[in-house]
């Protein structure tokens, strides 16, 4: 077989194929439900209901989507420049660590500057954590996929070390957790009485800013150009290495905001289970959004919905929650193929 | 000199060879994929899948070797998916690989929960036994060679076989050419994408056997997260070994020796003062360091990560 480009794909192809990918994902979900001994269509309904069916469910989904928007943006920004940052998990924890270092107990700084300072410090930590692998890539040709992946493990052990050592809450009954953040180090709720914190607002603003950066600025253009064709970008006189370094700083900073927002907005302290893989899920979020920053918001809501919905479905129907991970990984693969086939048709040799 | 004591102890060398075993299988698997031009980031998930499939097959009453075969088959299935999506369709190998890792780990976890819904303590199976315990009393070499299970011996055989097939047979030449200059392969009338799919399937099968070693030989139970980054380490080992089976084998043994050493150093008086996390970080940090040191000398296959489309270039 070979792939033939389609000069002007019609709307049936452009919208039909992605819809088909989602339908295939849903069909797989029904099959899995059947295997687990549950009623196949009821399970999909329960997932949807558990994600968006009530005010409580919707707020839970928005809360879960918040870190995913940040990590999704981080991955989207990096992948656009073909910087394969798979280390959003580590950068998230770097951000969370800074939030706790500055805001836990009795912060040295107080007043309205505390929260912005925490956010900036978090971004800086995440940015520097990714700058290392990016420089190793541009200077020495070390593959960043492996270095960023391995850093995830190192970072988690580092956090564990701090939580059992200097950062350990003396009143934590032996649990490895940090002291709680001071009251003024907590992100306030958007609407009083509704369980949704400003981290979500910050995530929306971040998506908007990244979109403006990518579509309206020279740097954004350079990031895209470097991703599409580094040789051509270099030939056109663009500072390729500097662009990759700046991309790394932005991407790492965005992922770190996920950690800041989870600690400061939701949890109020740092534990080792702060992130159930938000960094890795960011790859799915970014790819389902076709790396578009505004699309990341929608796809983060979708991914968060599947996770939250599967949790609630699992309690009702007894199908293991891992169904969510299978569905999302399958959606990623189906959607990648569908998007390819909107531009190419399969022909026989 | 605690380090010297450790290095001279027989159990240390036995542990090093044992720890190296899953890495050897999976590193050879990854090497075969990359030699054909496909980076297989599905490795971490495929190892988890192999660990689960091997374990559940034996738990259901099958022979241990049937378990190994089932694990290999499960790996090849995910390899087929990876190969088809990345070779003829030419999708991003990064995206597909990570997708496969997420998919395979999730399928393993889902299947475990579905088959054993009520279990809190992971049930055990009767694992592989040492090949020749009678000979294991030999000083140093005895435990390192004879206290090992047959899978460890199989791992060394696989490394030798990988080297032989890739460098001494026409098939191996074709596979390597698919990763170096696919146009030459196509000019010979061979199918580049067919070779790539085949290589990814075989490679993924080996990764799954590496995973199966964990449940059928090392731990005798299946845990979530039991692969714990070993797959990513193997990707680093392929680079460290400059895409050559012999050097990659050496790298895996070195890495495993270091890992065995850090476990033992934790238990020394000096190690007791240092947080244990530092020791656990060391192997990952070492992998990064090895990549940095080797990256300048290592020449990756020329067509690695470049999809082949007939008529282009």
pLDDT digits (tens, 9 = 90+) for B279-288: 999 989 988 9
Domains identified in chain B, total number = 1
pLDDT at B312 over 60: no
Residues 68-97 of A with CB under 8 A from B: 84, 86
pTM: 0.94
pLDDT at position B200 is 98
**CB contact residues (below 8 A), chain B span 39-58, against chain A:** 39, 41
Q: For residue A4, give the chain B residue with the closest CA.
A: B309
Q: Which two tokens stand for residue B212?
A: 């199966």
Domain assignment of residue B87, yes or no: yes
Q: What is the pLDDT of residues B213-260, one digit of tens each?
A: 999 999 989 998 899 999 999 999 999 899 999 999 999 999 999 999
Chain B CA closest to residue A148: B288
The phi, psi pair for A2, rounded to 5°, reads -145, 165
Is pLDDT of A325 > 80?
Answer: yes
Q: What is the DSSP string of B184-225?
A: HHHHTT--HHHHHHHHHHHHHHHHHHHHHHIIIIISSS--TT
Which residues on adjacent β-strands are paired with residue A344? A5
Mean pLDDT of A125-137: 97
Contact status, residue B277 vs residue A160, Cβ threshold 8 Å = yes
Per the CB < 8 A criterion, the answer to whether A210 and A293 are in contact is yes
pLDDT digits (tens, 9 = 90+) for A147-162: 999 999 999 999 999 9
Residue A346: DSSP 8-state: E
Using alpha carbons, select from B255, B10, B43, B24 the residue that is nearest to residue B152. Answer: B24
- DSSP 3-state of A229: coil
Please list every residue in chain A whose beta carbon sits closer than 8 Å to the beta carbon of residue B89: 3, 337, 340
Length of chain A: 349
Domain annotation for chain A: domains and CATH numbers: 38-318 (1.10.3470)
Q: Measured between alpha carbons, how far is A206 from A71 in angstroms, rounded to an integer?
A: 11
Please give the interface size between A and B, counted as residue pairs whose CB atoms are below 8 Å apart: 132
| A127/A77 Cα distance (integer angstroms) | 13
Chain B hits for A37, CB-CB cut-off 8 Å, are 114
User: B138-143: long-range contacts (C-beta < 8 A, 24 or more apart)?
Assistant: B139/B10, B140/B8, B140/B10, B140/B13, B141/B13, B142/B10, B143/B10, B143/B11, B143/B13, B143/B14
Asked if A313 has any chain B CB less than 8 Å from its own CB, the reply is no
| Residue B17 maps to a domain | yes
Report percent pLDDT > 90 for chain A.
81
What span, in angstroms and rounded, lies between the C-alpha atoms of A65 and A265? 13
Other beta carbons less than 10 A from residue A249's beta carbon: 18
pLDDT at B249: 97
pLDDT of residue A111: 84
pLDDT of residue B1: 61
> What are the CA-CA distances from residue B233 to residues A277, B92, B115, B239 (Å)?
19, 21, 30, 10
Average pLDDT in the A168-187 region? 88
- Helices B230-240 and B10-35 pack at an angle, to 10 degrees, of 70
Contact: A320, B109; criterion CB under 8 Å: yes
Contact status, residue A3 vs residue B89, Cβ threshold 8 Å: yes
Question: What integer pLDDT is reported at residue A230 of this predicted model?
Answer: 86
Chain centroid to CA A302? 12
* Contact across the interface for A336 and B91, Cβ inside 8 Å: yes
Residue B211 pLDDT > 60, yes or no? yes
With CA atoms as reference, the chain A residue closest to B309 would be: A2
Residues 14-33, chain A, touching B (beta carbon < 8 A) = 32
pLDDT at B135 > cutoff 90: no
Quote the CA–CA distance of A306 and A302 in Å, as a whole number.
6
Structure tokens at A54: 């009530």
B309 contacts: CB under 8 Å, gap ≥ 6 = A2, A3, B90
Chain B contact present for A229, CB below 8 A: no
The answer to whether residue A287 neighbours chain B at the CB level (below 8 Å) is yes
Q: Token pair for residue B243?
A: 């895409």
How crowded is the C-beta side of A9, counted as CA atoms within 13 Å?
A: 18
Reply yes or no on whether the pLDDT at A304 is more than 80.
yes
Residue range B50-77: average pLDDT? 97
- From A245's Cα to the closest Cα of chain B, the distance in A is 18
pLDDT digits (tens, 9 = 90+) for B19-42: 999 999 999 999 999 999 999 999
Which residues of chain A lie closer than 8 angstroms to B295, CB-CB?
136, 140-143
Contact A320 B280 (CB under 8 A): no
For chain B, the DSSP string reads: -HHHHHHH-HHHHHHHHHHHHHHHHHHHHHHHHHHTT---TTHHHHHHHHHHHHHHHHHTT--HHHHHHHHHHHHHHHHHHHHHHHTTS---HHHHHHHHHHHHHHHHHHHHHHHSTT-SSPP----PPPS-GGGGGSSTHHHHHHSS-HHHHHHHHHHHHHHHHHHHSHHHHHHHHHHH-HHHHHHTT--HHHHHHHHHHHHHHHHHHHHHHIIIIISSS--TT-STTHHHHHHHHHHHTTT-HHHHHHHHHHHHHHHHHHHHHHTSHHHHTS-HHHHHHHHHHHHHHHHHHHHTT----TTTT----TT--
Asked if residue B203 lies in contact with residue B43, where contact means CB atoms within 8 angstroms, the answer is no
Has residue B287 been placed in a domain? no
Whether B7 maps to a domain, the answer reads: no
Q: Are A5 and A13 in contact (CB under 8 A)?
A: no
Tokens 């979530």, residue located: B224
Q: What residue numbers bound the domain in which B162 lies?
A: 12-115+143-228
Please give the Cα distance from A201 to A63 (Å, whole number): 11
The arithmetic mean of pLDDT across residues A171-186, rounded, is: 88
Looking at residue B313, its pLDDT comes to 44
Tokens at residue B19, please?
């720890």
Residue B205 has pLDDT above 70, yes or no: yes
Q: Residues A3-55: pLDDT tens digits?
A: 888 888 888 898 999 999 999 999 999 999 999 999 988 999 999 999 999 99
pLDDT tens, residue by residue, A267-288:
999 999 999 999 999 999 999 9
pLDDT level of residue A89 (50, 70, 90 thresholds): very high
- Percent of chain B scoring above 90 in pLDDT: 73
- A328 touches B at CB < 8 Å: yes
A330 with B103: Cβ contact below 8 A:
yes
């Amino acid at each position: 077989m070979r792939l033939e480009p389609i000069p002007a794909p019609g709307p049936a192809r452009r919208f039909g194929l992605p819809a088909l990918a989602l339908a295939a994902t849903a069909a797989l979900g029904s099959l899995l439900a059947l295997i687990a001994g549950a009623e196949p269509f009821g399970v999909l309904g329960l997932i949807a209901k558990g994600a968006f069916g009530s005010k409580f469910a919707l707020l839970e989904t928005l809360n879960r989507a918040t870190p995913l928007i940040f990590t999704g943006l981080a991955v989207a920004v990096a992948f656009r420049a073909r910087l394969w940052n798979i280390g959003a998990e580590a950068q998230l924890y770097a951000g969370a660590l800074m939030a706790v270092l500055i805001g836990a107990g009795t912060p040295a700084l107080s007043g309205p500057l505390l929260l912005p300072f925490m956010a900036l410090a978090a971004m800086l930590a995440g940015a520097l954590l990714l700058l290392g692998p990016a420089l190793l890539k541009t200077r020495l040709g070390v593959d960043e996929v492996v270095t960023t992946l391995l850093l995830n493990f190192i970072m988690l052990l580092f956090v564990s070390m701090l939580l059992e050592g200097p950062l350990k809450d003396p009143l934590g009954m032996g649990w490895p957790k940090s002291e709680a953040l001071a009251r003024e180090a907590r992100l306030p709720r958007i609407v009083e009485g509704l369980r949704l914190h400003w981290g979500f607002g910050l995530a929306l603003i971040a998506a908007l800013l990244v979109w403006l950066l990518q579509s309206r600025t020279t740097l954004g253009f350079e990031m895209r150009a470097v991703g599409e064709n580094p040789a051509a970008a270099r030939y056109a006189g663009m500072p390729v290495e500097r662009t990759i370094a700046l991309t790394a700083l932005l991407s790492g900073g965005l992922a770190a905001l996920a950690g800041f927002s989870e600690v400061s907005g939701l949890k109020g302290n740092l534990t080792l289970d702060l992130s159930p893989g938000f960094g890795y899920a960011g790859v799915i979020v970014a790819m389902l959004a076709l790396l578009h920053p505004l699309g990341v918001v929608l796809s983060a809501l979708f991914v968060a919905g599947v996770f939250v919905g599967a949790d609630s479905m699992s309690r009702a129907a007894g199908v293991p929650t891992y169904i969510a991970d299978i569905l999302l990984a399958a959606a990623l693969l189906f959607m990648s193929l569908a998007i390819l086939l909107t531009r190419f048709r399969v022909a026989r040799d | 000199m605690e380090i010297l004591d450790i290095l001279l102890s027989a159990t240390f060398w036995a542990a090093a060879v044992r720890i190296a075993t899953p890495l050897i299988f999976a590193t050879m698997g990854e090497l075969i994929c990359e030699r054909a031009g496909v980076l297989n980031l599905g490795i971490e998930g495929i190892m988890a899948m192999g660990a689960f499939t091997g374990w559940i097959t034996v738990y259901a009453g099958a022979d241990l070797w049937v378990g190994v075969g089932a694990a290999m088959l499960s790996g090849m299935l995910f390899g087929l998916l990876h190969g088809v999506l990345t070779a003829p369709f030419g999708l991003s190998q990064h995206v597909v690989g990570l997708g496969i890792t997420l998919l395979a780990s999730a399928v393993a976890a889902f299947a475990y929960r579905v088959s054993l819904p009520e279990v809190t303590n992971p049930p055990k199976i009767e694992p592989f036994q040492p090949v020749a315990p009678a000979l294991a009393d030999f000083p140093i070499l005895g435990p390192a060679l004879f206290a090992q299970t047959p899978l460890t011996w199989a791992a060394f055989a696989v490394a030798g076989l990988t080297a032989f097939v890739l460098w001494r047979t026409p098939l191996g030449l074709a596979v390597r050419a698919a990763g170096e200059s696919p146009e030459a392969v196509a000019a010979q009338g061979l199918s580049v994408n067919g070779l790539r799919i085949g290589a990814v399937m075989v490679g993924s099968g080996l990764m799954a056997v590496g995973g199966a070693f964990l449940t059928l030989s090392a731990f005798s139970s299946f845990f979530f997260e039991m692969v714990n980054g070993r797959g990513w380490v193997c990707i680093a080992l392929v680079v460290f070994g400059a895409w050559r089976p012999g050097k990659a084998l050496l790298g895996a043994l070195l890495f495993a020796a270091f890992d065995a050493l850090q476990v033992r150093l934790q238990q020394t008086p000096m190690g007791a003062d240092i947080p244990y996390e530092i020791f656990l970080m060391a192997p990952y940090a070492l992998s990064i360091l090895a990549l940095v040191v080797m990256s300048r000398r290592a020449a990756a296959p020329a067509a690695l990560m470049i999809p082949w489309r007939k008529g282009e270039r």
